[in-house]
A and B are shown apart, each in its own frame.
Chain A
Amino acid sequence: MRFEILMNILAMAVVTFVTRFASIGLLGDVPAGLGRFLKHVPIAILTALIAPALFAPNGYIALTFSNHYLLAGIVTALVAYNRQPPIVTMGAGMTMILVLRMM
Chain B
Amino acid sequence: MQEKDFCKGVGDTIPLIVGMIPFGLAYGILGKSIGLTSGETIAMSILVFAGSAQFICLPMLMEGAGLAMVSFTTLLINLRHLLMGASLAPYMSGLSMPFKALLSFGMADETYAVTIQRAQAGCYTGAYQLGSNAICYLLWVMSTIGGVILGDYISDPLSWGLDFAMPATFLALLIPRLRDKASVIVCLVATVVSVGSAILIPGKWYIIIACLVAAMAGGLMGGKQDAI
Contacts and interface: CB of A to CB of B under 8 A. Distances in A.
Interface of A: 1-2, 5-13, 15-17, 19-25, 27-30, 33-56, 59-61, 68-69, 72-73, 76-77, 80-81, 83, 85-87, 89-91, 93-94, 97-98, 101
Nearest to A22: B82
A7 B61 CA distance: 10
B85 A22 contact: yes
Contacts of B104: 17, 20-21, 24-25
B203 interface: no
Contacts of B112: 42, 45
Given A25-B104, A39-B226, A46-B113, 7 more contacts: A21-B105, A23-B85, A24-B88, A42-B177, A73-B168, A80-B176, A81-B176
B164 A72 contact: yes
A24 B113 CA distance: 16
The DSSP consensus for interface residues of chain A is: helix
Given A16-B78, A87-B18, A54 B214 contact: no
A38 B16 contact: no
Contacts of B195: 51-52, 55-56, 61
Contact of A8 (B61, B210, B211): B61
Given A19-B81, A93-B168, A47 B87 contact: no
Interface residues of B, number: 95
Contacts, number: 287
A35 B79 CA distance: 19
Interface of B: 15-16, 18-19, 36-37, 39-40, 43-44, 47-50, 53-54, 57, 61, 67, 70-71, 74-75, 78-90, 92-93, 97, 100-101, 103-105, 107, 109, 112-113, 116-117, 120, 160-162, 164-178, 182-183, 186-187, 189-191, 193-195, 198-199, 206-207, 210-212, 214-219, 222-223, 226
Nearest to B108: A20
A38 B47 CA distance: 28
